[in-house]
């Protein structure tokens, strides 16, 4: 897949980002944005592309499920 990342490669980026997080003394609500930004930086943007593709895929899947559920509900209304 064009948006997938190599597991070992991403693992290295995550470990480096966690070390950097600790060195910078970042904690609490700043943790996630910092890690996402740092990993995107370390991966040359590949992690960001992967995350965006995942969000889009999840939204498309959610829409398909919602449409199928609506259709089932509508068909159920005509059964009685």
Within 8 A by CB and 6+ apart from 21, the residues are: 31, 34, 35, 38
**Percentage of the residues of the chain whose pLDDT score is greater than 90:** 82
35 has pLDDT over 60? yes
Q: Give the pLDDT mean for 41-50.
A: 94
Q: Give the pLDDT mean for 57-63.
A: 97
The pTM for the full model equals 0.72
80 has pLDDT over 60? no
């Amino acid at each position: 897949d064009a948006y997938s990342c190599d597991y070992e490669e991403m693992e290295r980026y995550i470990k480096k980002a966690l070390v950097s997080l600790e060195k910078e003394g970042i904690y609490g609500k700043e943790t996630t944005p910092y890690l996402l930004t740092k990993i995107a930086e370390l991966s040359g943007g590949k992690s960001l592309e992967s995350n965006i593709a995942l969000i889009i895929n999840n939204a498309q899947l959610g829409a398909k499920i919602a449409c199928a559920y609506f259709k089932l509900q509508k068909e159920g209304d005509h059964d009685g």
